[in-house]
Structure 1
Amino acid sequence: MIATNDNETKIYYSTENSIGKQAYAYVVSSEKKVLGVDVSKTKVPGSHWAEIADALDIGIEKLINRDHPDFIKEYGDKKIDLDQHDWLRILENHPETLAFPVVIMGKKIIAIHSPSDFVKYMEPDTTNQENPE
């Protein structure tokens, strides 16, 4: 199980793609403590990927960018039919193929398809607002 904390935001991302880097920057700019997991540098167990896919209500194969050059180099550009275990193995062995960053905030798991997707989950910054009088 992925350890969660209501006071911490966890992001699984890859520094090898621009969406991952930009999403990480958005998350870091939030007011919460952030634990960044760069999947290109940190091995994420298959059980975590399975838990993420389950929470997002998607198949594990949806976590993989099949247009990524490394995926095409390894598996070709034709549709392939693999079981869940094989898809997990791809993520474990080729984390750079992660299709999109994933943010975990407490019990909430969010797929980040564009860097600004996280903005709606950020708490408003009330420290810089003027006092209405």
Structure 2
Amino acid sequence: MGTIAMDKKQITLYYSSLNSLGKQVNAYVESSEMEHLTIDIAKTNVTGTQWAELADGLNKNISELIDQDHADFKKIYGEKEVNLDNDGWLKVLDKNPSLLKYPIVIQGKKFIELESASDFKQYMKPDSAGLEKPYRKE
């Protein structure tokens, strides 16, 4: 059993308020009429188990959740390729939450990385979420 609650009636957003994309996506989520839970990783400690579950839900490695092209990452680790184990990558996220590559939305069992703020609207509209509208006879 996972540690992240997955409810198809609720959106859960993992984001960093330390980067502009995270702030923008959070604004969309907060202003939506959908039930939601927002988790700002800059203010809330996300456990290693939760990060592993997020990465698994996205079919990615933990290292792929980190923006390794970010200027702050390069300032800390240099220009060379960085090879860390999962614990090392988890420490990067813990100490530098602004390096989260993309905000992550969970709805039901669906995990989505949002590469732009407008992606939230695209994925969360009932028509584009793969849900069919019931046919109404008028």
TM-score for the superposition, normalised by structure 1: 0.84
Deviation per CA, 1:13-52, whole angstroms, max 9, x where unpaired?
1111111111112222322112111111111111111111
Counterpart of 2:84 in structure 1 is 82
Counterpart of 2:68 in structure 1 is 66
Calculate percent identity across the aligned residue pairs. Answer: 48
How many pairs align? 126
CA distance, structure 2, for counterparts of residue 46 and residue 68 of structure 1: 22
TM-score for the superposition, normalised by structure 2: 0.82
Report how far residue 59 of structure 1 moved.
1.2
Are the aligned partners of 1:24 and 1:36 in contact in 2 as well (CA < 8 Å)?
Answer: yes
Counterpart of 1:108 in structure 2 is 110
CA distance, structure 2, for counterparts of residue 55 and residue 5 of structure 1: 14
Structure 2: which 5+ residue stretches go unaligned?
A: 127-137
CA distance, structure 2, for counterparts of residue 116 and residue 57 of structure 1: 22
Q: 2:30 aligns with which of 18, 21, 28?
A: 28
Say which SS state the counterpart of residue 88 (structure 2) adopts.
Answer: helix
Residue type of the alignment partner of 2:68: R
Counterpart of 1:49 in structure 2 is 51
Report the RMSD for the aligned CA atoms in angstroms: 1.9
| Structure 1 stretches of at least 4 aligned residues deviating more than 3 Å after TM superposition | none
Are the aligned partners of 2:18 and 2:97 in contact in 1 as well (CA < 8 Å)?
Answer: no
